[in-house]
Amino acid sequence: MTKIDMHITSGERKSVMPYQFDGRNIRIIERDGEYWFVASDVAAELGYSVAKDMARRLDDDERGGHIVPTPSGDQEMTIISEPGLYRAIIQRRSTKKMDDRLLNRIARFQRWVFHDVLPSIRKTGGYNAQPSITIADLTANPHMLLQLTQGYALQIEDMKREMGVMEKEVATLDRIAGADNLFGVRVAAKILQMEEKKFTAYIQQIGWAYRQPGTRVLLCYAEKQKAGLVLNKASPYTKPDGSEGLRESLKFTAKGIVRLGKMLNIDIVEGDLFGPKGEPA
């Protein structure tokens, strides 16, 4: 693994400039006339679970170290340069099977950094996300009014696209939720973006389920059932001789799906697994 240069000077602590994108912190650092970005902030916007997965794909001169003030005190953090940020964005946008909402957010983040923040910092030494504009300003400068209107129109279109993607996702999850508010192995694997075979191996590996001795039947461990994550559901079936019997099968609760999503770094909201009124599809 390439070693990151962590040489830090004491004067660097004062150069951290905090900004906000969609309510989330983006810390920008001026060092020797160049602008650097806290890697963990950027990684979160690009959909990485950990910053090192993004930083290790950059060249040595595109990443470094910096002392950054945090609530728990000053900490050494990885930072990436402006060219490194651009490379990271391009690499991420080229990822196959990227979620539409994340792609849209990355595009807006890229535009925010390179069209708004950096030009403003270079021009004025700072970035004002909401500059004070009066009616007199707009009356005297029709071009400013046009720019403001176009900016709001772009934001509205972005919001509409995000809402459209979210509605499709909720509708899909509504259809696949069972009438008993539970999810079978095949459906759970699909939600969690895994092949069924790999998924069954995974839940056995992490101690959620096991194969019933002498059979291929998957059952859950009692402690996971007590935690409300999974259960063994008994369903009636007709035997070859015509008599009725009960067969147990592994089922996942919405809580269990969300927990697995977190373990697999997949963002799943429990409320989205059912209809708008909380009823199963």
Written as one string, the DSSP assignment of 189-250 is HHHTT--HHHHHHHHHHTTSEEEPTTS--EEE-HHHHHTTSEEEEEEEEE-TTS-EEEEEEE
pLDDT given at position 71: 73
pLDDT given at position 31: 84
Angstrom distance (rounded) from CA 218 to CA 188: 14
Angstrom distance (rounded) from CA 222 to CA 225: 5
CATH node for 10-97: 3.10.260.20
**What is the domain partition of the chain in residue ranges?**
10-97, 177-273
Q: Tokens at residue 205, please?
A: 């590996």
pLDDT given at position 227: 92
pTM of the entire predicted model: 0.43
Residue ranges of alpha helices (H) inside 2-99 are 39-45, 51-55, 82-93
pLDDT given at position 4: 37
Mean pLDDT in order along the chain per 10 residues (281 residues) = 38 67 87 89 91 90 88 85 91 82 89 86 60 63 64 62 60 47 88 92 94 89 92 81 81 91 83 51 34
Beta bridge partners of residue 234, listed in sequence order: 248
DSSP 277: T
pLDDT given at position 205: 94
